[in-house]
Amino acid sequence: MPIMDHPALLASRQGWRRAGSVVVFTNGCFDVLHRGHVHLLERARALGDVLVVGVNADASVRAVKGPDRPLVAQGDRAAVLASLAAVDAVTIFDEPTPARLIQALEPDVLVKGGDWPVEQIVGAGDVTRRGGRVLSLPLLPGYSTTGIVERVLAAHRRAAAPAAGAVSGPLAALAESIAVEQRLLAECGEAITRAGRLLADTLLRGGKVLLFGNGGSAAEAQHIAAELVGRFSRERRALPALALTTDTSALTAVGNDWGFERIFARQVEALASPGDAVVALSTSGASPNVLAAVMAARDRKCAVVGVTGARGTRLGGLCDAPVVVPSTVTERVQEASLVIGHVWCEMIDACIADAREP
Protein backbone atom coordinates (compact mmCIF):
# COMPACT_ATOMS: atom_id res chain seq x y z
CA MET A 1 0.00 0.00 0.00
CA PRO A 2 1.21 3.56 -0.62
CA ILE A 3 2.70 6.00 1.81
CA MET A 4 0.02 8.67 2.10
CA ASP A 5 0.08 12.32 3.06
CA HIS A 6 -2.67 13.39 5.45
CA PRO A 7 -5.19 14.66 2.82
CA ALA A 8 -4.89 11.41 0.84
CA LEU A 9 -5.24 9.37 4.02
CA LEU A 10 -8.40 11.22 5.09
CA ALA A 11 -9.87 10.79 1.59
CA SER A 12 -9.21 7.05 1.84
CA ARG A 13 -10.80 7.06 5.29
CA GLN A 14 -14.07 8.20 3.72
CA GLY A 15 -13.98 5.24 1.36
CA TRP A 16 -13.24 2.81 4.19
CA ARG A 17 -16.12 4.26 6.17
CA ARG A 18 -18.55 3.83 3.25
CA ALA A 19 -17.39 0.23 2.89
CA GLY A 20 -18.03 -0.41 6.59
CA SER A 21 -14.38 -1.23 7.24
CA VAL A 22 -12.99 -1.18 10.77
CA VAL A 23 -9.95 1.12 10.80
CA VAL A 24 -7.13 0.37 13.24
CA PHE A 25 -4.46 2.96 14.00
CA THR A 26 -1.10 2.67 15.71
CA ASN A 27 1.93 4.91 15.73
CA GLY A 28 5.58 5.02 16.66
CA CYS A 29 9.09 5.92 15.58
CA PHE A 30 9.89 2.43 14.21
CA ASP A 31 13.58 3.32 14.15
CA VAL A 32 15.42 0.05 13.40
CA LEU A 33 12.43 -2.17 12.66
CA HIS A 34 12.61 -5.52 14.48
CA ARG A 35 10.58 -8.67 15.05
CA GLY A 36 8.74 -7.13 18.01
CA HIS A 37 7.39 -4.39 15.75
CA VAL A 38 6.21 -6.91 13.15
CA HIS A 39 4.50 -9.00 15.83
CA LEU A 40 2.65 -5.94 17.18
CA LEU A 41 1.55 -4.81 13.71
CA GLU A 42 0.24 -8.26 12.82
CA ARG A 43 -1.82 -8.38 16.01
CA ALA A 44 -3.11 -4.86 15.42
CA ARG A 45 -4.19 -5.71 11.87
CA ALA A 46 -6.17 -8.68 13.16
CA LEU A 47 -8.39 -6.28 15.13
CA GLY A 48 -9.95 -4.73 12.02
CA ASP A 49 -10.02 -4.47 8.24
CA VAL A 50 -7.50 -1.68 7.64
CA LEU A 51 -4.32 -0.90 9.58
CA VAL A 52 -2.96 2.64 9.36
CA VAL A 53 0.49 3.27 10.83
CA GLY A 54 1.56 6.78 11.83
CA VAL A 55 5.32 7.32 11.76
CA ASN A 56 7.12 10.12 13.61
CA ALA A 57 8.98 12.39 11.20
CA ASP A 58 12.72 12.77 11.77
CA ALA A 59 12.27 16.07 13.63
CA SER A 60 9.58 14.49 15.78
CA VAL A 61 11.87 11.57 16.69
CA ARG A 62 14.64 13.98 17.66
CA ALA A 63 12.22 15.89 19.87
CA VAL A 64 11.01 12.73 21.62
CA LYS A 65 14.16 10.60 21.78
CA GLY A 66 17.00 13.11 21.64
CA PRO A 67 19.39 14.51 19.07
CA ASP A 68 21.10 11.20 18.24
CA ARG A 69 17.94 9.70 16.79
CA PRO A 70 16.58 8.58 14.41
CA LEU A 71 19.15 6.23 12.97
CA VAL A 72 16.97 5.62 9.90
CA ALA A 73 15.42 8.48 7.91
CA GLN A 74 11.65 8.92 7.88
CA GLY A 75 11.23 7.99 4.22
CA ASP A 76 13.13 4.75 4.69
CA ARG A 77 11.22 3.86 7.87
CA ALA A 78 7.91 4.52 6.13
CA ALA A 79 8.93 2.48 3.05
CA VAL A 80 9.88 -0.56 5.13
CA LEU A 81 6.61 -0.40 7.07
CA ALA A 82 4.58 -0.02 3.87
CA SER A 83 6.13 -3.23 2.53
CA LEU A 84 4.73 -5.33 5.37
CA ALA A 85 1.70 -7.48 4.59
CA ALA A 86 -0.06 -6.41 7.79
CA VAL A 87 0.11 -2.69 6.97
CA ASP A 88 -2.49 -1.08 4.70
CA ALA A 89 -1.37 2.56 4.85
CA VAL A 90 1.51 4.59 6.28
CA THR A 91 1.54 8.30 7.01
CA ILE A 92 4.22 10.54 8.51
CA PHE A 93 3.39 13.15 11.17
CA ASP A 94 5.61 16.05 12.17
CA GLU A 95 4.43 16.76 15.72
CA PRO A 96 5.78 15.01 18.84
CA THR A 97 2.39 13.30 19.36
CA PRO A 98 -0.21 12.02 16.87
CA ALA A 99 -3.08 13.73 18.71
CA ARG A 100 -4.27 15.87 15.79
CA LEU A 101 -3.84 13.04 13.31
CA ILE A 102 -5.97 10.74 15.45
CA GLN A 103 -8.66 13.42 15.80
CA ALA A 104 -8.80 13.82 12.01
CA LEU A 105 -8.61 10.11 11.12
CA GLU A 106 -11.18 8.96 13.70
CA PRO A 107 -10.00 5.33 13.90
CA ASP A 108 -12.32 2.66 15.26
CA VAL A 109 -9.48 0.99 17.18
CA LEU A 110 -6.38 2.63 18.65
CA VAL A 111 -3.48 0.34 19.51
CA LYS A 112 -0.13 0.76 21.28
CA GLY A 113 2.40 -1.70 22.66
CA GLY A 114 2.04 -3.07 26.17
CA ASP A 115 4.61 -0.67 27.60
CA TRP A 116 1.96 2.04 27.17
CA PRO A 117 -0.90 1.80 29.70
CA VAL A 118 -4.23 2.73 28.15
CA GLU A 119 -4.49 5.83 30.35
CA GLN A 120 -1.22 7.16 28.85
CA ILE A 121 -2.08 6.57 25.19
CA VAL A 122 -2.43 9.86 23.31
CA GLY A 123 -5.80 10.08 21.57
CA ALA A 124 -7.48 7.48 23.76
CA GLY A 125 -10.13 9.93 24.97
CA ASP A 126 -11.08 10.96 21.44
CA VAL A 127 -11.46 7.35 20.32
CA THR A 128 -13.47 6.14 23.30
CA ARG A 129 -15.79 9.17 23.17
CA ARG A 130 -16.76 8.08 19.65
CA GLY A 131 -17.42 4.54 20.85
CA GLY A 132 -14.13 3.09 19.64
CA ARG A 133 -11.70 0.79 21.42
CA VAL A 134 -8.25 1.51 22.83
CA LEU A 135 -5.93 -1.42 23.43
CA SER A 136 -2.46 -1.90 24.88
CA LEU A 137 -1.16 -5.14 23.36
CA PRO A 138 1.50 -7.24 25.14
CA LEU A 139 4.96 -6.88 23.64
CA LEU A 140 7.08 -9.71 22.37
CA PRO A 141 9.70 -10.06 25.14
CA GLY A 142 13.31 -9.17 24.44
CA TYR A 143 12.83 -6.76 21.53
CA SER A 144 13.51 -3.03 21.75
CA THR A 145 15.06 -0.50 19.37
CA THR A 146 16.53 1.39 22.33
CA GLY A 147 18.02 -1.87 23.60
CA ILE A 148 19.59 -2.54 20.20
CA VAL A 149 21.04 0.97 20.06
CA GLU A 150 22.43 0.73 23.59
CA ARG A 151 24.12 -2.61 22.84
CA VAL A 152 25.77 -1.14 19.75
CA LEU A 153 26.94 1.93 21.68
CA ALA A 154 28.23 -0.22 24.54
CA ALA A 155 30.30 -2.25 22.10
CA HIS A 156 31.65 0.97 20.59
CA ARG A 157 32.62 2.33 24.01
CA ARG A 158 34.47 -0.85 24.90
CA ALA A 159 36.42 -0.60 21.66
CA ALA A 160 37.24 3.10 22.07
CA ALA A 161 40.46 4.16 23.77
CA PRO A 162 40.10 6.28 26.93
CA ALA A 163 40.30 10.02 26.26
CA ALA A 164 43.69 11.57 26.92
CA GLY A 165 43.85 14.06 29.75
CA ALA A 166 40.41 13.17 31.13
CA VAL A 167 39.53 14.87 34.42
CA SER A 168 39.48 12.51 37.40
CA GLY A 169 38.76 12.78 41.10
CA PRO A 170 36.21 15.11 42.70
CA LEU A 171 36.17 17.47 39.70
CA ALA A 172 35.15 14.73 37.25
CA ALA A 173 31.50 15.54 37.96
CA LEU A 174 32.10 19.18 37.00
CA ALA A 175 33.77 18.13 33.75
CA GLU A 176 30.85 15.79 33.00
CA SER A 177 28.35 18.58 33.65
CA ILE A 178 30.20 20.95 31.33
CA ALA A 179 30.29 18.28 28.61
CA VAL A 180 26.56 17.65 28.92
CA GLU A 181 25.75 21.36 28.72
CA GLN A 182 28.00 21.76 25.68
CA ARG A 183 26.02 18.99 23.98
CA LEU A 184 22.80 20.58 25.21
CA LEU A 185 23.75 23.84 23.49
CA ALA A 186 24.87 22.14 20.28
CA GLU A 187 22.09 19.57 19.96
CA CYS A 188 19.04 20.77 21.90
CA GLY A 189 18.98 24.52 21.30
CA GLU A 190 16.00 24.35 18.95
CA ALA A 191 13.97 22.23 21.38
CA ILE A 192 14.77 24.55 24.30
CA THR A 193 13.79 27.71 22.43
CA ARG A 194 10.63 26.11 21.03
CA ALA A 195 9.51 25.22 24.56
CA GLY A 196 10.45 28.69 25.81
CA ARG A 197 8.40 30.36 23.08
CA LEU A 198 5.42 28.15 23.94
CA LEU A 199 5.60 29.21 27.59
CA ALA A 200 6.03 32.89 26.69
CA ASP A 201 3.08 32.75 24.29
CA THR A 202 0.94 31.11 26.97
CA LEU A 203 1.67 33.91 29.44
CA LEU A 204 1.21 36.67 26.86
CA ARG A 205 -2.24 35.27 26.00
CA GLY A 206 -3.25 35.40 29.67
CA GLY A 207 -2.70 31.74 30.51
CA LYS A 208 -0.81 30.37 33.48
CA VAL A 209 2.01 27.86 33.90
CA LEU A 210 1.82 24.87 36.26
CA LEU A 211 5.03 22.99 37.10
CA PHE A 212 5.64 19.65 38.81
CA GLY A 213 8.20 16.93 39.43
CA ASN A 214 9.62 14.74 42.20
CA GLY A 215 12.63 15.27 44.48
CA GLY A 216 15.19 17.53 42.84
CA SER A 217 12.72 18.15 40.02
CA ALA A 218 10.19 19.36 42.59
CA ALA A 219 12.75 21.90 43.83
CA GLU A 220 13.39 23.06 40.26
CA ALA A 221 9.64 23.40 39.63
CA GLN A 222 9.41 25.69 42.66
CA HIS A 223 12.49 27.63 41.58
CA ILE A 224 11.15 28.36 38.09
CA ALA A 225 7.70 29.26 39.42
CA ALA A 226 9.29 31.70 41.88
CA GLU A 227 11.28 33.37 39.10
CA LEU A 228 8.10 33.87 37.06
CA VAL A 229 5.95 35.15 39.91
CA GLY A 230 8.75 37.44 41.11
CA ARG A 231 11.28 38.39 38.48
CA PHE A 232 14.32 36.87 36.84
CA SER A 233 16.66 39.44 35.29
CA ARG A 234 14.52 42.54 34.76
CA GLU A 235 11.53 44.34 36.20
CA ARG A 236 8.18 43.30 34.74
CA ARG A 237 4.66 42.42 35.83
CA ALA A 238 4.11 39.36 37.99
CA LEU A 239 3.36 36.24 35.96
CA PRO A 240 0.91 33.49 36.94
CA ALA A 241 2.95 30.38 37.67
CA LEU A 242 2.46 27.71 40.32
CA ALA A 243 4.52 24.71 41.41
CA LEU A 244 2.21 21.82 42.29
CA THR A 245 4.79 20.52 44.77
CA THR A 246 4.30 23.05 47.57
CA ASP A 247 0.82 22.57 49.07
CA THR A 248 1.43 19.90 51.69
CA SER A 249 -2.24 19.71 52.62
CA ALA A 250 -3.29 18.99 49.03
CA LEU A 251 -0.38 16.61 48.45
CA THR A 252 -1.06 14.55 51.56
CA ALA A 253 -4.84 14.58 51.17
CA VAL A 254 -4.71 13.44 47.55
CA GLY A 255 -1.93 10.96 48.28
CA ASN A 256 -3.87 9.48 51.17
CA ASP A 257 -7.24 9.28 49.41
CA TRP A 258 -6.26 8.51 45.79
CA GLY A 259 -2.62 7.42 45.94
CA PHE A 260 0.75 9.05 45.23
CA GLU A 261 0.24 8.68 41.48
CA ARG A 262 -2.57 11.25 41.58
CA ILE A 263 -0.92 14.03 43.62
CA PHE A 264 -0.21 16.24 40.59
CA ALA A 265 -3.01 15.10 38.27
CA ARG A 266 -5.71 16.02 40.77
CA GLN A 267 -4.27 19.53 41.10
CA VAL A 268 -4.12 19.88 37.32
CA GLU A 269 -7.79 18.87 37.16
CA ALA A 270 -8.61 21.56 39.73
CA LEU A 271 -6.43 24.42 38.48
CA ALA A 272 -5.72 24.03 34.75
CA SER A 273 -7.81 25.64 32.02
CA PRO A 274 -7.63 25.36 28.22
CA GLY A 275 -4.79 27.53 26.97
CA ASP A 276 -2.63 27.05 30.06
CA ALA A 277 0.72 25.26 29.94
CA VAL A 278 2.26 22.66 32.22
CA VAL A 279 5.96 21.94 32.70
CA ALA A 280 6.70 18.31 33.58
CA LEU A 281 10.15 17.62 35.04
CA SER A 282 11.36 14.03 35.31
CA THR A 283 14.94 12.84 34.87
CA SER A 284 13.72 9.29 34.14
CA GLY A 285 10.70 10.34 32.10
CA ALA A 286 8.78 7.48 33.69
CA SER A 287 7.47 8.83 37.02
CA PRO A 288 3.82 7.66 37.19
CA ASN A 289 2.59 10.79 38.98
CA VAL A 290 4.23 13.07 36.41
CA LEU A 291 2.81 11.07 33.49
CA ALA A 292 -0.66 11.06 35.05
CA ALA A 293 -0.53 14.85 35.40
CA VAL A 294 0.58 15.21 31.78
CA MET A 295 -2.42 13.17 30.60
CA ALA A 296 -4.73 15.27 32.79
CA ALA A 297 -3.27 18.41 31.20
CA ARG A 298 -3.76 17.03 27.70
CA ASP A 299 -7.40 16.25 28.53
CA ARG A 300 -7.82 19.91 29.51
CA LYS A 301 -6.31 21.17 26.25
CA CYS A 302 -3.20 22.53 27.95
CA ALA A 303 0.15 22.74 26.20
CA VAL A 304 2.67 20.30 27.65
CA VAL A 305 6.37 21.10 28.03
CA GLY A 306 8.72 18.45 29.42
CA VAL A 307 12.35 18.09 30.45
CA THR A 308 13.79 14.60 30.81
CA GLY A 309 16.95 12.56 30.33
CA ALA A 310 18.11 10.47 27.40
CA ARG A 311 16.02 7.49 28.50
CA GLY A 312 12.90 9.59 29.09
CA THR A 313 11.15 8.73 25.86
CA ARG A 314 7.86 8.00 27.63
CA LEU A 315 7.51 11.58 28.86
CA GLY A 316 8.97 12.95 25.65
CA GLY A 317 6.34 11.12 23.63
CA LEU A 318 3.52 12.81 25.55
CA CYS A 319 4.78 16.41 25.28
CA ASP A 320 4.06 19.13 22.76
CA ALA A 321 7.53 20.59 23.37
CA PRO A 322 9.91 18.07 24.94
CA VAL A 323 13.56 18.72 25.78
CA VAL A 324 15.61 15.53 26.06
CA VAL A 325 18.89 16.19 27.87
CA PRO A 326 21.69 14.11 26.29
CA SER A 327 22.64 12.23 29.45
CA THR A 328 21.44 9.20 31.39
CA VAL A 329 23.00 10.40 34.67
CA THR A 330 20.35 11.80 37.02
CA GLU A 331 22.59 14.51 38.50
CA ARG A 332 23.68 15.77 35.08
CA VAL A 333 20.08 15.89 33.85
CA GLN A 334 19.01 17.88 36.92
CA GLU A 335 21.85 20.36 36.42
CA ALA A 336 20.92 20.82 32.77
CA SER A 337 17.26 21.18 33.71
CA LEU A 338 18.07 24.16 35.92
CA VAL A 339 19.98 25.85 33.09
CA ILE A 340 17.07 25.22 30.72
CA GLY A 341 14.69 26.79 33.23
CA HIS A 342 16.87 29.89 33.42
CA VAL A 343 16.96 30.16 29.63
CA TRP A 344 13.16 30.05 29.59
CA CYS A 345 12.94 32.75 32.25
CA GLU A 346 15.21 35.02 30.21
CA MET A 347 13.16 34.36 27.08
CA ILE A 348 9.91 35.13 28.90
CA ASP A 349 11.30 38.34 30.39
CA ALA A 350 12.38 39.46 26.91
CA CYS A 351 9.00 38.62 25.37
CA ILE A 352 7.13 40.52 28.06
CA ALA A 353 9.41 43.53 27.54
CA ASP A 354 9.00 43.38 23.75
CA ALA A 355 5.22 43.32 24.18
CA ARG A 356 5.52 46.53 26.25
CA GLU A 357 3.11 45.26 28.82
CA PRO A 358 2.81 47.13 32.13
Domain annotation for the chain: domains and CATH numbers:
6-146 (3.40.50.620), 170-354 (3.40.50.10490)
Whole-number average pLDDT of the chain: 92
Give 1's pLDDT tier (boundaries 50, 70, 90): low
Helix (H) or strand (E) holding 123: none
* Beta carbons of 202 and 209 less than 8 angstroms apart: yes
CA distances from 147 to 151, 311, 333 (A): 6, 11, 21
Backbone angles phi, psi at 141, to 5 degrees: -60, 145
Model's pTM, two decimal places? 0.81
- Number of Cβ within a 10 Å radius of residue 246: 13
What is the share, in percent, of the chain residues with pLDDT greater than 90?
82
Q: What is the model's pLDDT at position 241?
A: 97
> Strands across the sheet with 133-137, in order?
89-93, 50-56, 23-28, 109-113, 133-137
Per-residue model confidence (pLDDT) at position 164: 45
Residue 286: CB atoms within 10 A of its CB come to: 15
State pLDDT tens for residues 84-107: 999 999 999 999 899 999 999 999
Residue-level pLDDT at 74: 95
pLDDT band at 356 (very low <50, low <70, confident <90, very high): low
